[in-house]
Amino acid sequence: MSTNTAAQTIFITGTSSGLGKLTAIHFAKMGWNVAATLRTPENEQELRQYGNIRLFKLDVTDLDQVRTAVDAAIEAFGKIDVVVNNAGMGTYGPLELAAEKDIDWQFAVNTRGPINVIRAFLPHFRQNGGGMFINISSFMGVTTAVPLGSLYNMSKFALEGLTEGLYYELKPLNIELRLIEQGGSSGNNFTNNIIWNRDEKITVYDEMMDKLSALMGNRDNSQLDDPQEIVDAIADLATGVNSKFRTVIGAAGNSLMALRNSVPIEEYLETMAQNNR
C-alpha cells in the first residue's frame, strides 16, 4: 500500500556507506521519501532512524533482486521520481595480473548494475510520463590519470557511454539523464576497492603497484572533495536547480578534464605518464 504519494521519492543504490548513505539522509531531511537500497539491510541501523526512509535489499548484480526491490519500492511509495545509480567499487592493478572474476565483477557492479536498475525502472517512468536517472560516475569515467586503473576506467567510461547513448531514446519520453563526475571524496569509504595480488614471477609492475598502494593507503583528505558538495549536487539535479547533463565536482576532475579537452590526446597521455613517473 502506498505510504505517501504527495512527497517526491528517490531510489538510491548502495546506501550502506559513503555517498549513498549521506544522500539518503540528506533527502530524508529535505522531506523526500527515500527508497534506500543495500546488500545487507539487516546490518543497517542509522537509516532506520528516519521515518521517511524505507530499506530494500538490493545487490545490483542480481537481476531477481533488482526486480523485486524496484517493485517493492514502487508498491511502498506509489511513484518514484528520481533514481540514483550510486553503488560501485574499484578493482585496481595491472590488467595482466587481474583475476578473471575481478574483471567480470568490476563490469557487473559499475556498469551492468546500472543497466539492470534502469531497465527495471523504465516501465514505471514511461507510465508516469517521466523520471530522472542520476548516474554516479567519476572523472575516471571521462579521462584517465593513473596507471593500474584501466578496469575502473573501463567500467565508468561504459557508464558514461550508456548514459549518453540513452539520451536519444529517453528524451522523447521525458526521462532525464544526469551524470556526476566526482573525484576522490573524503568521508566516503570506497570500501570495496580491490587491489590484486602480485605475481612473484612478474615483477615489472611492482613499482607501479607500490605507488598505487601508497596513494590509496595515504589519501590526503585535505586534497579530496567534500562529500557534502556531491550530495548537494545530487539534490540540485533532483530538484531541477541544476539541469546540466554532466556535473563535475572538485578541482582535480575539473583541471584534468580542462587539460584533456585542450590538448591532443597524445600530449595528454604523455603528460599524465610523466606525472606518474
Ligand X SMILES: NC(=O)c1ccc[n+]([C@@H]2O[C@H](COP(=O)([O-])OP(=O)(O)OC[C@H]3O[C@@H](n4cnc5c(N)ncnc54)[C@H](OP(=O)(O)O)[C@@H]3O)[C@@H](O)[C@H]2O)c1
DSSP codes, 132-200? EEEEEEEGGGT---STT-HHHHHHHHHHHHHHHHHHHHHGGGTEEEEEEEE--BTT---TT-EEPPPBT
- Is 152 designated active site? yes
Three-state SS at 78: coil
Task: Select from 38-46, 123-131, 169-177, 194-202 the region that touches ligand X (CB under 6 A).
Answer: 38-46
Residue 125's Cβ-count burial label (10 Å; 0-12, 13-18, 19+) is buried
> Minimum distance from CB of 241 to ligand X (Å)?
21
> Minimum distance from CB of 60 to ligand X (Å)?
4
Q: Pattern 138-177, binding to ligand X, x per CB under 6 A?
A: x---------------------------------------
Task: Tell me how far apart the alpha carbons of residues 273 and 277 are, in angstroms, rounded to a whole number.
Answer: 6
Three-state SS at 131: strand
User: Residue count at the site for ligand X (CB under 6 A)?
Assistant: 30
Question: Catalytic residue among 21, 92, 150, 152, which?
Answer: 152
Residue 127 as a binder of ligand X (CB under 6 A): the answer is: no
- Is 21 designated active site? no
DSSP codes, 29-52? HTT-EEEEEES-GGG--GGGG-TT
Paired with 133 in beta bridges are 83, 177
Question: Catalytic residue among 16, 138, 150, 155, which?
Answer: 16
Residue 213 as a binder of ligand X (CB under 6 A): the answer is: no
**Choice between 79 and 179, CB closer to ligand X:** 179
Residue keyed to cell 597521455: 269
Task: Select from 12-20, 74-82, 118-126, 234-242 the region that touches ligand X (CB under 6 A).
Answer: 12-20
Task: Select from 55-63, 76-84, 161-169, 257-265 the region that touches ligand X (CB under 6 A).
Answer: 55-63
Residue 128 as a binder of ligand X (CB under 6 A): the answer is: no
Q: Catalytic amino acids? A: 16, 137, 152, 156
